[in-house]
Amino acid sequence: MGDRIILHCDLNNFFASVSLLFNPTLKSLPVAVCGDRENRHGIVLAKNENAKKYGVRTAETVSDALRKCPDLVILPPLMDKYREYSKKAHAVYERYTDMIEPFGIDECWLDVTGSTLLFGSGEQIAERIRKDIKNELGITVSVGVSFNKVFAKLGSDMKKPDAVTVISRENYKEKVWPLPVSDLLFAGRKTTEKLRSCGVYTVGDIVICSDETLIRLLGKNGMELKRWAQGLDSSPVSTPTAEDLPKSVGRSVTGSKDFTSYDDVWATFLTLSRPISDTLRSHGLYAFGVQVHIRTASLAVKEFSRTYRDSTNSGYIIARRGMEILRANYTFGEPLRSVGIRAVGLKNYESAVQSDIFGNSESIAAQEKIEDSIYMLRKKFGNSSITRASEKKQ
């Protein structure tokens, strides 16, 4: 039996590339997509190639980025557009295989082993995907082609943007072994520092390092890294299934100023619960529990939760339950820096209905009917087409 043919597709500078589709006059300028500094999320989320030339890095503060590049153009994130273009890219991948494993919003592994009779070699399929993405979506993708997932991921990182790189049985020692250890998947800073302390700097160094040393430094993870360096990764491309449905759905926020009252939190819970409700509806799920997360001004973290007899997918009900939980457990001895709310105890419609017949859910059902209509309107006309008016303070 021959080798598998695995692709790793990495949409280049994804947030920045999509944002520039809607700001085309800025394409020749250094641009970064950044969090809102006024809301204390002032970091670089993505940057374009022009910004990279100035040394602008993802996850650094906006202030640091501006010191490097005073003319940097800062754009706010367009999360709805990023999700839309991620789905469009997935639709391209699905032309060539149904074995697709997402790795974040902008990366995917594809197993195209069974697709070669229809579409050609792995490299040819990668080139077709690269051209489709560029011509149809207006953004670019780098694709790594190899016989395992780890090397395919390395390949997509080697040449950017808009490129295809093949790492084969014949060339992997030449291409992979000179790379720094930090290029390997999941070889983070601490792992890299431990290996460097023993003179292990490159992927090839891992191969010749003794098993005893690797186990002493990294435990069983050391042997896993060695297997990957030797090209022995056999992990499958795992397509999400029904079993991969979310176990909980939550949102949190750090306020532009500290929360000092229940009224402040209520307005925020309403805002956070809307996307939670939309996610539950999109998966056909109902929540039997709600969890509240708070971080105080002194950075103490607390979590409280409660399970209910009646399930719901209503954002209003989830927010109201969150307030019940907060009031029962916190008295504002000090202000709150951040708050979060999470729907837990999720079940599908059939399981939820069977349980709810033992509860008193008439008022919940009425609220859900209203929100079902709102949800369908937003799906058809966009998220900003209809929103809930200010609610009575709880």
| Domain end residue (candidates: 46, 62, 77) | 77
**Res. 27 pLDDT band, cuts 50 70 90:** very high
Residue 310: the pLDDT is 83
Find the CATH number of the domain harbouring 143: 3.30.70.270
Of 83-87, 157-161, 188-192, 229-233, where does mean pLDDT reach its minimum?
Answer: 188-192
- For 192, residues 6+ apart whose C-beta sits below 8 A from its C-beta are 180, 181, 182
Same domain, 84 and 70: no
**Res. 358 pLDDT band, cuts 50 70 90:** very low
Residue 392: the pLDDT is 43
Q: Which helix (H) or strand (E) holds 307?
A: strand 301-312
In a domain, 57, yes or no: yes
Residue 94: the pLDDT is 96
Whether the CB-CB separation of 44 and 59 falls below 8 Å is answered with yes
Specify the length of the chain in residues.
394
Same domain, 70 and 144: no
Residue 140: the pLDDT is 97
DSSP helix/strand/coil, 347: strand
Range of the domain at 90: 6-13+80-172
**Res. 149 pLDDT band, cuts 50 70 90:** very high
pTM listed for this prediction? 0.66
Same domain, 270 and 316: yes
Same domain, 365 and 267: yes
In a domain, 355, yes or no: yes
Residue 29 pLDDT more than 80?
yes
In a domain, 18, yes or no: no
Across all residues in the chain, what is the average pLDDT? 87
Same domain, 318 and 210: no
Q: How far is 270 from 299, CA to CA, in rounded Å?
A: 23
Q: How far is 194 from 291, CA to CA, in rounded Å?
A: 38
In a domain, 249, yes or no: yes
Of 71-80, 105-114, 372-381, where does mean pLDDT reach its minimum?
Answer: 372-381
Residue 382 pLDDT more than 90?
no
Same domain, 268 and 360: yes
Residue 374 pLDDT more than 60?
no
In a domain, 86, yes or no: yes
Neighbour tally for 149: CB within 10 Å: 25
Of 168-177, 204-213, 317-326, 376-385, where does mean pLDDT reach its minimum?
Answer: 376-385
In a domain, 240, yes or no: no
In a domain, 119, yes or no: yes
Nearest to 252, CA basis, from 291, 297, 282: 291
Same domain, 369 and 262: yes
Residue 111 pLDDT more than 90?
yes
Catalytic residue status for 212: no
Reported as half-sphere exposure (CB side, CA atoms, 13 A), residue 16 has a value of 27
Residue 216: the pLDDT is 93
Same domain, 209 and 277: no
Share of the chain above pLDDT 90, in %: 66
Paired with 7 in beta bridges are 110, 145
| Domain end residue (candidates: 157, 172, 187) | 172
Residue 244: the pLDDT is 67
Strands 44-47 and 31-34: antiparallel
Same domain, 160 and 200: no
Average pLDDT value for residue range 9-22? 96
Q: How far is 63 from 69, CA to CA, in rounded Å?
A: 10
Residue 370 pLDDT more than 80?
no
DSSP helix/strand/coil, 94: coil
Find the CATH number of the domain harbouring 217: 1.10.150.20
Q: How far is 269 from 252, CA to CA, in rounded Å?
A: 9
pLDDT per position as a tens digit, 255-272:
888 999 999 999 999 999
Strands 164-166 and 44-47: unpaired
Find the CATH number of the domain harbouring 66: 3.40.1170.60
Same domain, 262 and 275: yes
**Res. 366 pLDDT band, cuts 50 70 90:** low
Q: How far is 257 from 39, CA to CA, in rounded Å?
A: 8
Same domain, 322 and 338: yes
> Looking at residue 63, what DSSP letter applies?
H
Q: Which of 84, 94, 101, 107 is catalytic?
A: 107
Find the CATH number of the domain harbouring 293: 3.30.1490.100
Same domain, 280 and 304: yes
pLDDT per position as a tens digit, 287-313:
999 999 999 988 888 999 999 988 888
Residue 133 pLDDT more than 70?
yes
**Res. 360 pLDDT band, cuts 50 70 90:** very low
Share of the chain above pLDDT 70, in %: 86
| Domain end residue (candidates: 127, 152, 172) | 172
Strands 107-111 and 6-11: antiparallel
The residue type of 130 is R
Q: How far is 159 from 144, CA to CA, in rounded Å?
A: 9
Structural domains in the chain (count): 4
Residue 2: the pLDDT is 79
